[in-house]
Amino acid sequence: MSSKPKIVVVGSSNTDMIIKGDRIPAPGETVVGGAFSTAPGGKGANQAVAAARAGGDVVFVARVGDDMLGRQAIAGYEQDGIDVSFVQRDPALATGVALIIVDQTGNNSIAVASGANAALTPDDVERAADAIKSAKMVVFQLETPIETIMRAARLAKDAGVPVLLDPAPAPSEPLPKELLECVTVVKPNEGEASRLTGIDVTDEASAFQAAEKLLELGVSTAIITLGAAGSVVATKDGVRKRAPAIRVDAVDATAAGDCYSGALAVALGEGKSLDDAIAFASKAASLSVRRLGAQPSLPTREEIERA
Ligand code: RIB
């Protein structure tokens, strides 16, 4: 049996079409210039790959199209040692595609055509029930249907398996309480925390208020990331603290949050303390912003330990 912690990621798989240019166009504007590339992406897949490279034994539950992009995506996950038994190939829908523009400072703007991701069903999750029940941690984001995420969260909670929710992209409405009650760790950024709690998160004080609200809503640990200002952490056991950010010159921030979540899941699955797990995840995320593209930028365990 592998000594690596088993991490199940339920979520999206996309192919990213990227322009690295000077700046992000305003609505109605055309900006000429920059370089085009493609890379494997999707928040779920990025978290799965991040976890695998960080040292997890990863099972990915997802849906891609039965097309060239889907086949390429699956081949990439296999190269990272991910169990793809529960990655379905949908005969009727295309693999998800994200159009990403990255500016000179590494900031991005992303539009996603979900394709097969939107057809990931609760039954797809049921098929992976044994994997979920035997995991050290189950990880979700919000690029697949909410009823599917809720089924997976419920399966994990009933089996006593910790759940990590990365609530990205920011939900258009508050998440169901039944979902948040199944969540062990939630890791929103400022915008996502504002959407989840109705509290406008603009600084440390408002981040702590939002974290308290997330605990009231049923999660056990809230980590609200604040970009260059680090993160605030609050737990049901009374921990209230700040974690510093690691300063880097960013080439591309795409998938930095996904990288953080994947690495955090592995560290917690290994039994590291919350402080050590956050430090490990912050290091991984700080490495990911130095390279262009979502999955090409995700660091290996060796790179994280060397940083
Ligand atoms: O979080 C980054 C990801 O968001 C990209 O890889 C893109 O596919 C979108 O899902």
> Over the stretch 3-14, which tens digit does the pLDDT of each residue have?
999 999 999 999
Q: b/e per residue, 237-249, with b = 16+ CB within 10 A?
A: eeeeeebebeebe
At 158 the three-state DSSP class reads helix
Where b means 16+ CB within 10 Å and e means fewer, 92-111 reads ebbbbbbebbbbeebebebe
Q: Is the pLDDT of residue 238 over 70?
A: yes
What's the pLDDT score for residue 1? 56
Q: What is the DSSP letter of 151?
A: H
Res. 224: pLDDT tops 70: yes
- The pLDDT of 257-265, averaged and rounded, is 98
More confident residue, 245 or 253: 253
Substitution site in 102, 108, 112 for ligand 1 pocket (most atoms within 8 Å of beta carbon): 112
Ligand 1 atom at minimal distance to the Cα of residue 143? 10
pLDDT category, 44, cuts 50, 70, 90? very high
Q: 234 C-alpha to center of ligand 1: Å?
A: 27
Write the pLDDT tens digit of every residue in 56-90: 999 999 999 999 999 999 999 999 999 999 999 99
The sign of the dihedral angle between the CA atoms of 216, 282, 5, 166 is: positive
Ligand 1: which atom is nearest the Cα of residue 41?
6
For residue 2, the SS3 value is coil
Q: Tell how far the Cα of 109 is from the centroid of ligand 1, in angstroms.
A: 10
Predicted TM-score of the model (pTM): 0.97
Which residue's CA is the closest to the ligand 1 atom numbered 8? Answer: 42
User: Check: CATH 3.40.1190.20 for 6-12+43-87+119-306?
Assistant: yes
Apex CA 151: angle with CA 148 and CA 156, to 5°? 130
Lining ligand 1 with CB less than 6 A are 12, 14, 16, 41-43, 46, 98, 110, 112, 143, 254-255, 258, 294
Whole-angstrom distance, CA of residue 99 vs CA of residue 92: 22
**Closest ligand 1 atom to 16 CA:** 8
Cα 140 from Cα 285, distance rounded (Å): 18
Taking the C-alpha atoms of residue 291 and residue 307, their distance in angstroms, rounded to an integer, is 15
Amino acid letter for position 26: A
Q: Please report the pLDDT score of residue 174 as a whole number.
A: 85
Region 220-241: what's the mean pLDDT?
94
191: tokens are 């915008």
Choose, from 16, 103, 252, 258, the residue flagged as catalytic.
258
User: Sign of the C-alpha dihedral, residues 190, 41, 143, 24?
Assistant: positive
Residue 252, CB-side half-sphere exposure with 13 Å CA sphere: 23
Q: Please give the Cα distance from 281 to 270 (Å, whole number).
A: 13
For the segment 199-212, the average pLDDT, to the nearest whole number, is 96
Q: Name the residue of 225, 254, 298 whose CB sits within 8 Å of the most ligand 1 atoms, as the mutation to test its pocket.
A: 254
Give the model confidence (pLDDT) of 89-117 as tens digits.
999 999 999 999 999 999 999 999 999 99
Q: Is 258 a catalytic residue?
A: yes
Instruction: Provide the H-helix boundaries in the chain.
Output: 43-54, 68-79, 122-127, 129-133, 146-158, 177-180, 190-197, 204-216, 256-269, 274-288, 301-306
Residue 295 tokens, joined: 């999955």
210, 201 contact by CB (below 8 A) = yes
Q: What is the whole-number distance in angstroms between the Cα of residue 240 and the centre of ligand 1?
A: 30
Query: How much distance in Å is there from the Cα of 257 to the middle of ligand 1?
Result: 10
Report the residue among 101, 258, 259, 298 best suited for mutation to probe ligand 1: largest number of ligand atoms under 8 A from its CB: 258
- 40 Cα: distance to centroid of ligand 1 (angstroms): 9
